Amino acid sequence: MSFPTTSPPLARALAERNYDRPTPVQLAVLTDEAAGRDLLVSAQTGSGKTVAYGLAIAKDLLGDAERFEQAAAPLALIVAPTRELALQVQRELAWLYGHAGGRVVSCVGGMDPRREQRELAAGAHIVVGTPGRLCDHLRRGRLDISELKAVVLDEADEMLNLGFREDMEFILETTPETRRTLLFSATFPRGIVALAKQYQRDAFRIEVAGDEGGHADIEYRAIRVAPGDVEHAVVNVLRFFESPSALVFCNTRDAVRHFQSALLERGFSVVALSGELTQNERTLALQSLRDGRSRVCVATDVAARGIDLPSLDLVIHADLPNDPEVLQHRSGRTGRAGRKGVSVLLVPSARRRRAELLLNLSGTDAIWGTAPQADDIRKLDHERMLKDALFSEETTSDDLVLAQALLAERSPEEIAAALARLYRARLPSPEDILDPGEDRGRPRDGRGRDDARSSRGDDRPAPRSKTGKSSPRHGMAEPSVWFRAAIGKRKNAEARWLLPMICRRGGIDKRDIGAIRIMDTTTEFEIAERVAESFAVKVRRPDKEDSIRIEPLANTPQAPAPSERRSHAPRREAADNDTGARRDDDFRGAAGPKHRGKPHGDDGQKVGGEPNFTKKKHKKKFGHAEQPRGVSEWPAKGGPGKKSKKKRRG
């Protein structure tokens, strides 16, 4: 099916770019019903909407002429939420209107405004820009809008999310009322509908999102990972798919920096995109992706807006997106204009319910599984090497001379082995990843809490008996292995923070933990046997947050006698336990006291905050002149010798 356009110069431009079949959104804006009317269009990223509105406004700009007259005041204004998207739109419209002699000028934040002023003064047929910079030029009188025929708001929902509502309203109120207004948005939230009612006249509504849009060619995969294996999973996913270009999404700038450094250390060619980069740095990073010097881009959501790479076949969500719309925008960077793509969500066990909700709300079906294993990647490397273009290239006479010299000195097996080593040396090594296993699906209530707690109507720990033993609901009813952590009561160890630390270090769930026994200098705890092997491997890895040594116990420890438990128990009643039972030091994994203090690790660094120096036994032991053993410096607040101004309760 050919494009239903009557403008010969635009038809030639489309033919040169091999645009032989229009996308659904391009067909929809060119129907007779849409001709000459304001448009309210719902279209996903990657559905060809830039070309769609470029074709839709062609009649308004060119009329029946084949070429533009000399550029003067602009005829069309395109507003986009980010610099990258605005520059991408400029490039698209430049080739689309190239045969018609169209001059397309960009005005975006981060670029030299004086250069933009000179370009505007020289004349333009179409101006593309970001809301803030366009408003600045309008207020300063640098942008002449007297001849404006059309205004296009691209990704209007995202501009609302970024806080550009006032700028958009200013632009629409300033431009001539006779203009044609085209509003493109991935979704139609209330803010967009209100904007359309206020500033559009009898708008023709078009919806081509979902399966008809640009996301039909995206394969979604959800990968279960242990919390400590997310970085390794990113490495293995990149190595498994070997996409010419890949995009790794993070939620924060710190995470972007971390993943960029980690991937660079492993031998990937990586660039980063985040809000802290200058426009020149962002431009250089994108150019290195387009010309193939870099293969991987690690980015935040806002920074990745408008990225359009022809070879981007893989999107990895290292951090889960915050809502379904962000998931669609992220994934829409691939699978664009008929290309196939893969979108991979890395899902720690504690985030599985959130991932399922995101997929459900976005109407997306994902294939659930585990991360690619190192052996699978090595097999693929073997197959890829045999199909490498190196073997199909034409052999020169110099190549033959060198080959004969090698064969005279070495056997064919030795030469082939050396070639295999050279091939593998240029590839980042895959990581060994342990399968965290399927979610064991413990019954939950409607709010996603374990039934052991929801049956009590709150989120407090399960009750404990007066003997110090946990309720049977939280007992370890399966074979277990005991481990020891090198920290105890003398350094303010508490089950309240030990439990999440053990889960994080070992990549396990709290339901895999049985009893936690806190003693003077060490803490012993129980781990389910089915995860003990993987737990032991993971806790041996260096940890950036603490240096508490964790190791398996050779023998199963004996349960402490009741008298021993009572000797270690605090004298006051447990304030957070509605049974009135006293606390002891034999805590179960699902419970933990709510002390304020947190410990110091073996290296003398604070692990979770300030120590609890408000207790009398600490005040007596640590006076002004004496410093606790293993503490390098006093905390900034609440140190010994300082009296609290607030009266403690209970």
Two tokens at 634? 């006093």
**What H or E segment, with its residue span, contains residue 346?**
strand 341-348
Q: What is the pLDDT of residues 595-617, one digit of tens each?
A: 444 444 433 344 444 334 334 44
How high is the pLDDT of residue 544? 61
Tokens of 650: 């209970």
Strands (E), 239-295: 245-249, 270-273
pLDDT at 309: 77
Indicate whether 507 pLDDT > 70: yes
Confidence of residue 453 (pLDDT cuts 50, 70, 90): very low
Q: How many Å apart are CA 548 and CA 149, to the nearest integer?
A: 68
The DSSP bridge pattern shows strands 523-528 and 513-518 to be: antiparallel
Instruction: Please write the tens of the pLDDT for every residue from 557-600.
Output: 665 544 444 334 333 333 333 333 333 334 344 334 344 444 44
- Mean pLDDT across 411-439: 81
pLDDT higher for 188 or 299?
299
Look at the block and give the residue holding tokens 């304001």. 38
SS3 of residue 287 by DSSP:
helix
Q: Summarize the confidence of residues 508-514 as an average pLDDT.
A: 84
State the greatest distance between any 2 C-alpha atoms of the chain, in Å, as a whole number.
Answer: 98
- Across residues 272-288, what is the average pLDDT? 83
Residues of the chain by 3-state class (helix, strand, coil), percent to 5 = 35, 15, 45
Task: Quote the pLDDT of residue 560.
Answer: 55
Confidence of residue 131 (pLDDT cuts 50, 70, 90): very high
Residue 210 scores a pLDDT above 80: no
First to last CA, the chain: 79
Tell me the pLDDT of the chain averaged across its residues. 77
How much is the average pLDDT of 487-501?
84
β-strand 218-225 against 341-348: which pairing, if any?
parallel
What pLDDT, on the 0 to 100 scale, is given for residue 209?
55
pLDDT one-digit tens code per residue, 7-24: 889 989 998 888 878 888
Q: Is the pLDDT of residue 543 over 80?
A: no
Strands 523-528 and 480-485: antiparallel
- Say what the pLDDT of residue 246 is: 93
Task: Note the pLDDT tens digit of each residue in 312-363.
Answer: 889 999 999 988 878 888 888 887 656 788 999 999 988 999 999 999 888 8
- The reported pLDDT for the residue numbered 284 is 87
Higher pLDDT pick, 510 / 650 = 510
In order of 109, 399, 458, 583, 600, the CA distances from 471 in angstroms are 61, 76, 16, 13, 31
Report all structural domains of the chain as residue ranges with CATH numbers, in order of start: 8-212 (3.40.50.300), 218-377 (3.40.50.300), 476-559+584-642 (3.30.70.330)
442 has pLDDT over 50: no
Burial of residue 531 (CB within 10 Å: 0-12, 13-18, 19+) is: buried
For 84-105, the pLDDT digits (tens) are 889 889 999 999 999 999 999 9
Residue 464 has a pLDDT of: 38
Percent share of the chain, pLDDT over 70: 75
* Residue with the larger pLDDT of the pair 209 and 556: 556
The distance of Cα 469 from the centroid of its chain, to the nearest Å, equals 42
Listed residue (357, 526, 347) closest to 439, CA to CA: 347
Q: At what angle do helices 131-139 and 113-122 cross, to 10 degrees?
A: 70
